[in-house]
Structure 1
Amino acid sequence: MSDPALVTLRGASFAYEDGPTVLKDLDFDIREGRALALLGRNGSGKTTLMRLLSGGLRPRTGQLALAGQPVSYDRRGLTRLRTTVQLVLQDPDDQLFAASVAQDVSFGPLNLGLPDTEVRSRVGEALAALDITDLADRPTHLLSYGQRKRAAIAGAVALRPRVLILDEPTAGLDPDGQERLLVTLASLRESGTTVVMATHDVDLALRWADDAALLTPSGAHTGPVAAMLARTDLLERAGLRLPWGVAATRLLRAHGLPTGSAAGPRTAEELALLVPPAASPVTVTGAD
C-alpha cells in the first residue's frame, strides 16, 4: 500500500502491572485516508493497542510516531498526539459526564484553551456532523443509547482529529442505528478524517473497510480487507469466522458465475445484483 503512514508503532510491547504481556514487538500503521477495521478475539490486545495509539498508555518498549516524528510523553507531546488521534470508547457512559450534550462536546476544545467563538463553532460543527444538533441542550442522562454513542463521538470530532479510533461503535445499536452511524462515518471520511474501527463483526468489516488488521498471537497482520478476510489461517488464529461475502464469492466462482469486482460482493445488495432472478415456479397438476 502506497498511502503514507500517519501513525506508526514500531516494536511496541506492553504489559499491565503484575499481569502478563499483552502485546509484544508489535508493528502497526494507520495510513491516512484508509478506513481500517481492527479485528481479533477478546483478550487479543485490541483495547490496549487503541490506547497506545491514542496516548492513553505508553509502550514499555518500542516507539509511537506521528508523521514520522517520535511522540514525546510530556504535556506538549501528548497534546499534539491527542489533537491528531482521538479514541472513542465502546461504552459512551465512560466518556459522557457533563450536564448537557453541548457542554460535553465543548470540553475538549475548552481544554485546549481555544477562544469561546472557536469553541462554539467546533461544537456546532461536531453536533451537525453527528446529526444531533437538536440535542444540544438535552441532559446527557436523558439520551437513548444510540444518542449517547453519537454524543461521545461528537466530543472527539470537536477536536478535529486527523484519526478517529472507535471501539465497537455499532455494538448495542439496532439495524437503523447502525446504518445511520455508517452514513455519519462516511461523511467524516469525506471531510478528511481517517477512521479506525475495532469490531468483531467480520461482515461489517468487509462491507465498510478498505483495510483490515487481524490481531493474532504472532502480531498484527494488515492488508486490503477482502484479501485479509479470505485468509482462513489468520481468521482461525484471530478467533474469527469467514465473512458471508467471502463465502458467497467462493460459491459463485465454483459455479462459474460472475462475482462483479475481484473482491466479490461485499453487501447483500451487491450479491442480489449478481444472482439472476429465480425462474417462475412450475405448477404441476394431476392427470385427468
Structure 2
Amino acid sequence: MNEPALVALRGASFAYEDGPAVLSGLDFEVREGRALALLGRNGSGKTTLMRLLSGGLRPQAGGLAVEGEPVRYDRAGLTRLRTTVQLVVQDPDDQLFAASVAQDVSFGPLNLGLPDAEVRSRVAGALAALDITALADRPTHLLSYGQRKRAAIAGAVAMRPRVLILDEPTAGLDPDGQERLLATLDGLREAGTTVVMATHDVDLALRWSDDAALLTPDGVHTGPAPSMLSRTDLLRQAGLRLPWGVAAARLLRAQGALAATAEGPRTAEELAAMATASGRPDVGTAPAGP
C-alpha cells in the first residue's frame, strides 16, 4: 500500500469574499523527499494554494491532511501544522519585523515555548544553513535584498519543518545570488526537508525540481518535471513557455544527437558536457548570425 502524502488537499475549494472561486474541488499532494515546482499564470491560485497548505487559509470545502490525518484548525492543530509546513512569502519585507536577524529567526521557536537552549540551537542551525551566521546581530533594515531573503527563509527553517514552501525565492536576486540560494536549498533537501517552490521560471523548474505542478483553468496537473514541462498544451493553458532544455532536447533528437529515450540537458552546462562527451563540438554551438 502506498504511504499517504506528507501533506494533501482533498476536494479543496476556496473563494475570497465577494469573489469567484479561486480553487474548486482541488486535489493536491506534497510527497516527502520530492522537490516540487508549482507553476501557473498570475491569478491562477498559486498563492491561495500555498496558504491553504500552510494553514494561513482554511478550505471552504474539502480538507487538508498531514500524513493522512485531517488538520484541525484549533490552536493545537495549527501548531502541529506549522511545525510540519512553513511558507516563506515572496517579499521578505512582509515577513521580517524584528530588530536583528537573530531576533527575527528566534520568533517562531520562542512561540512554540521551547527552552532557551533549544531556541539558541535552532537559531544557530538555521543561520548556518542559510550561510548568514555573520549577520546574526545585523539590523534587518540594513540587509541587502538577498540577505533579507535568506533571513526570511532562516526564520522558517528554525521551525524545523518537514515541508518548506517558497514563493518565488529567486525573484529579485542576481545570478550569483540565485546560485547560492539554490545551493542552500540543495543542502536543506539533503538534510531531509521537502521543498516546494512557486515560480514562473520554467528553466529553473526543469533544472531544479523532481516534479512539476501546473495550475491551469481546469485544475492542477502534476508529474515528473521533464514530462510535465514538455506538455505544450498544459504550458499554454498555464500561460508558460516551453523550457529551453526541452526545446534543446527536441532539436538534438531531430538531429540524431540524442537517443529518443535519453534524458535531455537541463542547463547550458549539461548541453556543453554532452557535446564534449559526444565528440561533436557543434552540439550546443549557437548558429552564426546573418
Which residue identity is paired with 2:40? G
Q: 1:61 to 1:224 in 2, by over 3 A?
A: same
Mean alpha-carbon deviation: is it higher for 176-185 or for 252-261? Answer: 252-261
Residue 105 of structure 2 contacts residue 151 of structure 2 at CA under 8 Å; is this kept in 1?
A: yes
Give aligned pairs, total. Answer: 278
In 2: Cα distance, 1:4 partner to 1:48 partner: 23
- Where 2:6 maps in the other structure, the secondary structure is strand
In 1: Cα distance, 2:48 partner to 2:261 partner: 35
CA shift for structure 1 position 4: 4.8
CA shift for structure 1 position 5: 1.2
2:98 counterpart of 1:98:
yes
CA shift for structure 1 position 259: 5.6
2:281 aligned residue (273, 277, 283): 277
In 2: Cα distance, 1:139 partner to 1:261 partner: 53
Q: 1:267 to 1:146 in 2, by over 3 A?
A: same
Which residue identity is paired with 1:120? R
Which residue identity is paired with 2:173? L
Report the equivalent of 1:134. Answer: 134
Q: 1:260 to 1:91 in 2, by over 3 A?
A: farther
In 1: Cα distance, 2:195 partner to 2:147 partner: 20
TM-score of the pair, normalised by structure 1: 0.95
In 2: Cα distance, 1:278 partner to 1:92 partner: 44
In 2: Cα distance, 1:64 partner to 1:178 partner: 32
In 1: Cα distance, 2:115 partner to 2:258 partner: 57
CA shift for structure 1 position 20: 1.2
- Where 2:221 maps in the other structure, the secondary structure is strand
- Where 2:269 maps in the other structure, the secondary structure is helix
TM-score of the pair, normalised by structure 2: 0.94
In 1: Cα distance, 2:30 partner to 2:282 partner: 44
Residue 3 of structure 1 contacts residue 31 of structure 1 at CA under 8 Å; is this kept in 2?
A: no
In 2: Cα distance, 1:185 partner to 1:261 partner: 29
- C-alpha RMSD over aligned residues: 1.3
In 1: Cα distance, 2:117 partner to 2:261 partner: 48
Which residue identity is paired with 2:281? P
- Where 2:23 maps in the other structure, the secondary structure is strand
CA shift for structure 1 position 16: 0.3
Unaligned regions of 5+ residues in structure 1, if any? 280-288
Residue 260 of structure 1 contacts residue 274 of structure 1 at CA under 8 Å; is this kept in 2?
A: no
Q: 1:259 to 1:187 in 2, by over 3 A?
A: farther
Which residue identity is paired with 1:34? R
- Where 1:150 maps in the other structure, the secondary structure is helix
CA shift for structure 1 position 3: 7.0
Which 4+ stretches in 1 moved above 3 angstroms?
A: none
Report the equivalent of 2:247. Answer: 247
Report the equivalent of 1:39. Answer: 39
Q: 1:250 to 1:138 in 2, by over 3 A?
A: same
In 2: Cα distance, 1:147 partner to 1:37 partner: 23
Unaligned regions of 5+ residues in structure 2, if any? 284-290
Which residue identity is paired with 1:174? D
CA shift for structure 1 position 273: 1.6
Which residue identity is paired with 2:265? P
Report the equivalent of 1:286. Answer: none
Matching of residues 211-226 of structure 1 within 5 Å: 211-226=211-226
Matching of residues 176-191 of structure 1 within 5 Å: 176-191=176-191
Q: 1:22 to 1:59 in 2, by over 3 A?
A: same
Cα-to-partner distance string for 1:221-247 (whole Å, 9 max, x where unaligned): 000000000000000000000001000
Matching of residues 51-62 of structure 1 within 5 Å: 51-62=51-62
Report the equivalent of 1:121. Answer: 121
Matching of residues 153-192 of structure 1 within 5 Å: 153-192=153-192
Larger C-alpha radius of gyration, 1 or 2?
A: 1
In 1: Cα distance, 2:128 partner to 2:4 partner: 30
Cα-to-partner distance string for 1:5-52 (whole Å, 9 max, x where unaligned): 100100000000111110000000000000000000000000000000
CA shift for structure 1 position 197: 0.1
